[in-house]
Amino acid sequence: MDFKPLIGTEEATLDDKGRILVSKKKRERLGENFVLLWGDLGCLVAYPESVWLRVAGEVLDAPSINRGRDMLTRLMMGEAVDELNCDQQGRFVIPNKLKEKAQLKKDVLLIGLGDRVEIWAKELWEEFQKYPDVYGRERRAAFEKAYDLLSQGGGTWQPTSP
């Protein structure tokens, strides 16, 4: 591991311009450039660039005709934003599309998960905490199906009848 783990939970506020302040420790551990995407639970996920390249590489190593690969790349990469970085005050702008998908309003939480940071709307995090087994079931199921197809090496493309 060539980085220090991203740990701890921090409260933050999303300002009117869609910016969020990240603590110095998390900024340093995210690195100069990071990737932001809509995760499997519906929150946003920020990956340090080095980790993202490894994760993306694992997915893209599968044959391009693998349906699981296609599904997973759509779910993970289709709306991801890369080369994000913080300004001198330690803020970065969350793109509107991702902000809306994650239902971010004002109060947010940044939760370190070792190799990534989840960004949650505070009220959605509280809902997830109450019902972690069922929260985001539909989106999570789509990721699980894609991963299963990818890891089994099956699910290759089949022509469909007109």
The CATH code belonging to domain 9-152 is 3.40.1550.20
Strands 91-93 and 19-21: antiparallel
Is 18 a residue whose pLDDT tops 60? yes
Average pLDDT over residues 109-136: 96
Average pLDDT over residues 19-23: 96
Helix ranges, the chain (H): 24-30, 49-60, 67-77, 96-101, 122-130, 137-152
Average pLDDT over residues 121-134: 95
Write out the two tokens for 106. Answer: 């004002």
| Cβ contact 136:43 at 8 Å | no
Neighbour tally for 60: CB within 10 Å:
12
Is 11 a residue whose pLDDT tops 60? yes
Q: 0.95 cut: is pTM over it?
A: no
The predicted-structure confidence for 92-113, as pLDDT tens digits, reads as follows 999 999 999 999 999 999 999 9
Position 158 scores a pLDDT of 52
Average pLDDT, the chain: 92
Position 153 scores a pLDDT of 76
Is 156 a residue whose pLDDT tops 80? no
Compute the 3-state secondary structure of the chain and give helix, strand, coil in percent, each to the nearest 5. Answer: 40, 25, 35
Question: In angstroms, rounded to a whole number, what is the distance separating the alpha carbons of residues 123 and 108?
Answer: 8
Band (pLDDT 50/70/90 cuts) for residue 154 is low
